[in-house]
């Protein structure tokens, strides 16, 4: 069982840049990847998403990458057509004004568009720096999520034990509830009908009452759900959705037991079970 919350950070220098990576994961129902990348790395969003999708199964994954150039390699080129156009225009201006000046190289290179510069960027080299940083940060996140997952698992197991204890108490109370109701029905029949009530009629009414109020099926199903819950919690991968579904099924059985049972002792145990289950479901919201 893993939590959905974790944090990782890594940084390194290479390919003429210094990169830093921050990776944060939070709880949400589905996998939601939110990358924040500097301009030169936007073309790497696809490989980054693939990496994160293969690493995480569920949760909100926030990635922030920062990049600073520590050494610049400029590519300088000359636009000869623009240079010729500037030369012709400046020579024509000199003739028009009668200055007799010639167009020098120093003047020409200062004109807009004659020289073009761009920074040399190697995206593949950037990826060779970034990928190990992603792996390192993701490993830190995995460690956080596993550590928090153990804490969640321990707390959820405590709630399951509380639920089981209440269920055991209810199983003890169920026969007493049935006997009390049989005695109560017999007494009422005798008070109203006296000797004319008849044993068959009493047994018929008791059977009808048992159909409406017997909680044995609910106890069996709830026990089965608890066993399935524990088995699923031991599985690898994203188990949170399945565990939450099983918790919902437990809640239905607990509610039915409460609605069928007039005995106050059982009602108190039902309240305790609902409280334990709600605490478990609160923790399940952060389970991957």
- Asked if the model's pLDDT at residue 225 lies above 90, the reply is yes
State which of 145, 179, 199 marks the end of a domain.
145
- Evaluate whether residue 251 is within a structural domain: yes
88-92 average pLDDT score: 84
Read off the pLDDT band of 54 (50, 70, 90). very high
CATH code at 18? 3.30.230.40
Pairing state between β 31-36 and 59-69: parallel
Do 62 and 175 belong to one domain? no
Mean pLDDT over each residue of the chain, to the nearest integer: 87
Neighbours of 87 (CB within 10 A): 17
Do 171 and 133 belong to one domain? no
Do 59 and 82 belong to one domain? no
Do 218 and 95 belong to one domain? no
65-73 average pLDDT score: 81
- Evaluate whether residue 1 is within a structural domain: no
- Total structural domains within the chain: 3
- Evaluate whether residue 15 is within a structural domain: yes
More confident residue, 219 or 173: 219
Domain of 243 in residue numbering reads as 147-284
Do 90 and 17 belong to one domain? no
Lowest mean pLDDT among 56-65, 111-120, 166-175, 222-231: 111-120
- Evaluate whether residue 209 is within a structural domain: yes
Per-position DSSP letters for 84-143, written without gaps between them:
HHHHHHHHHHHHHHT------HHHHHTSTTTEEEEE---HHHHHHHHHHHHHHHHHHHHH
- Asked if the model's pLDDT at residue 159 lies above 90, the reply is yes
Do 64 and 79 belong to one domain? no
Do 66 and 136 belong to one domain? yes
Do 218 and 200 belong to one domain? yes
Do 103 and 153 belong to one domain? no
- Evaluate whether residue 112 is within a structural domain: yes
Q: What is the pLDDT of residue 123?
A: 86
Do 59 and 79 belong to one domain? no
Q: What is the pLDDT of residue 260?
A: 84
Do 134 and 216 belong to one domain? no
**pTM for this entry:** 0.71
- Evaluate whether residue 35 is within a structural domain: yes
CA distance 241 to 220: 23
Do 274 and 201 belong to one domain? yes
Contact predicate 205/192, CB 8 Å: no
Contact predicate 44/123, CB 8 Å: yes
- Evaluate whether residue 39 is within a structural domain: yes
């Amino acid at each position: 069982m893993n939590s959905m919350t974790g944090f990782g950070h890594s940084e390194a220098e290479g390919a003429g840049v210094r990169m830093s990576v921050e990776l944060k994961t939070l709880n949400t129902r589905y996998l939601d990847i939110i990358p924040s990348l500097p301009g030169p790395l936007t073309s790497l969003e696809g490989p980054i998403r693939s990496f994160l999708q293969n690493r995480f199964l569920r949760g909100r994954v926030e990635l922030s990458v920062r990049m600073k150039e520590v050494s610049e390699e400029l590519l300088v080129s000359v636009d000869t057509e623009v240079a010729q156009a500037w030369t012709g225009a400046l020579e024509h201006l000199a003739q028009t004004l009668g200055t007799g000046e010639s167009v020098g190289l120093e003047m020409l290179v200062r004109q807009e568009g004659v020289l073009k510069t761009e920074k040399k960027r190697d995206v593949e080299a950037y990826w060779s720096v970034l990928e190990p940083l992603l792996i390192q940060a993701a490993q830190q996140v995995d460690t956080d999520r596993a550590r928090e997952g153990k804490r969640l698992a321990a707390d959820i197991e405590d709630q399951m034990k509380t639920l089981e204890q209440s269920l055991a108490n209810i199983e003890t109370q169920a026969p007493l509830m049935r006997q009390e109701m049989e005695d109560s029905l017999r007494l009422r029949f005798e008070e109203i009908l006296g000797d004319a009530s008849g044993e068959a009629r009493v047994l018929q009414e008791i059977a009808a009452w048992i159909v409406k109020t017997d909680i044995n099926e609910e106890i069996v199903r709830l026990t089965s759900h608890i066993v399935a819950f524990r088995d699923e919690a031991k599985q690898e991968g994203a188990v949170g959705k399945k565990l939450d579904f099983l918790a919902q099924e437990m809640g239905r059985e607990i509610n039915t037991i409460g609605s069928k049972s007039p005995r106050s002792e059982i009602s108190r145990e039902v309240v305790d079970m609902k409280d334990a289950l709600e605490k478990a479901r609160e923790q399940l919201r952060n389970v991957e």
